[in-house]
Amino acid sequence: MTFKSELGATEPSLWVVRTVATYLPEAAHELRAIAALLRSGAITGSLGPLVRAIVERVGVVFWILDVESADGLERGWRATLNALVCYKEYRKTLDQLGTERTVRNEVAEKHRQLRARVQGWFAPEVDDVQPTDSSLWKRNGSGYPDLTELAAAAMPNDLDLSVRKGVYAAQCGMTHPNIFVLGETVEPLGARGIQFVHRAEDVDKEVRAAFVMFMRGVLVCARYFSVEGEFKALEDRLNTISDSLEAASGKLYEAPN
């Protein structure tokens, strides 16, 4: 109703719903992937990319649904801005892959149409040098945050902001090529070469981080859409799993790897 009365359109609210309904289920899928890999014993050390993906997705959800400092129009602005930035990256990927021109043209046209509508609805400040680059647009000082800021938004607020950013930087160190970070997980085997060693407590921390981020994303979604009652069973289940992680941690730390 706010969007209809203020902007004459309800599309921004649809982008809010679509974003949340896309990112949280995908984060749940990644969490299930972590669980499957751990249960099968197939892999432990390379869980970082999955954890980071969960944190980034939940971060976008928190940034858009920010019920503490954002009003309805601000949330609509953030959701449509996110859509524009995603369009931009999607178009770039299609170009780099050499996708069929008709497909690229169709995506480009949809991107231009949405860009024009967003400019009409929110009258953002555009960059003088690159006016079509929506990632540089701002409205009342609010623009698209970088990935570190998004990740920090997903983490508990009782952690210092610098710590939250540092956690994300550490996750990037695990997932991007970094010889020093990699060196922490490698041990020599004498004449036989090297082996990868992943401490149980480190794996446990990664699992906890993924789980906590997802749980916070689900709860903020439930509060925003006023469906806390429907998520009560899920919240209870999440708390049970959290207790199980707590109980298992001591045993994990006693294991050699």
pLDDT, tens digit, 9 for 90 and up, residues 41-50: 888 777 889 9
The residue type at 235:
E
Taking only Cα atoms into account, the Rg of the chain, rounded to an integer number of angstroms, comes to: 21
Give the three-state DSSP class for 40.
helix
Say what the pTM is.
0.87
pLDDT at 257: 47
In the structure, what pLDDT confidence band is assigned to residue 229 with cuts at 50, 70 and 90? confident
Q: What is the pLDDT of residues 161-193, one digit of tens each?
A: 999 999 999 889 888 888 888 888 888 887 778
Q: Helices 147-154 and 200-224 sit at what angle, rounded to 10 degrees?
A: 80
